[in-house]
Amino acid sequence: MERNHKRTLGQRWEELQPTKAILGWACIATAVATIAIGFTFGGWVTGGTAQQMGDEARAELAAIVCVDRFLAGGDANAQLAELKDFRSSYQQRQFVEAGGWATMPNMESATRQAASLCAQTLAALEMESTASAASAETVSE
C-alpha cells in the first residue's frame, strides 16, 4: 500500500523548474505591480508634478513673507484699504507687485503666483484685526 504523502511547500519549491517564459512574465508582472503600487499608494510622482509642487510651495512661502512685509509697514491700514478698493484680483496683484512686498531678495521682480496669493490673503484680512495688531504692537513697545 502506498501512503498518501503530502509534500510541504518547501519540497514543492525545490522541485519547481519554471520555464523562461514563466520567469519573463513573472518579472513583467512584478515590475507592473511595483509601479502601480508605488504611484497609487507609495507617494511617487512624476518629475513634472514634483516641479509643480515645488513651485507652489515656493509661492506660498513668498506670499507669507509678502503679507508680513505688508503688515510691517507703518501705513499698513491705509495700504490695506487702498488694496481692498480694487475690485479685480488682477488690480490687487498689480498693487502688491508695484509696492515691492512680493519681491524676494536676489530677485528682480515678484512671481505672479506669489503676488496673487499675497493679494488674496491681504484682501481677506479684516481692517479691525490689523488695527488691533498695530495698536498691540505700540502698547507692547
| Helix intervals (H) in the chain | 9-15, 20-40, 47-72, 76-85, 89-99, 112-124, 127-140
Shared-domain flag, residues 36 and 54? no
Instruction: Find the domain containing 109 and state its range.
Output: 48-135
Residue 7 included in any domain: no
pTM for this entry: 0.64
Q: What is the pLDDT of residue 51?
A: 95
Rg (Cα) of the chain, in Å, rounded?
31
The total domain count for the chain is 2
Cα torsion at 127, 129, 133, 138 (round to 10°)?
50
Q: Average pLDDT for residues 111-138, to the nearest whole number? A: 72
pLDDT in tens, 34-79: 999 999 999 999 999 999 999 999 999 999 999 999 988 888 888 8
In the block, cell 481677506 appears at 124
Shared-domain flag, residues 27 and 38? yes
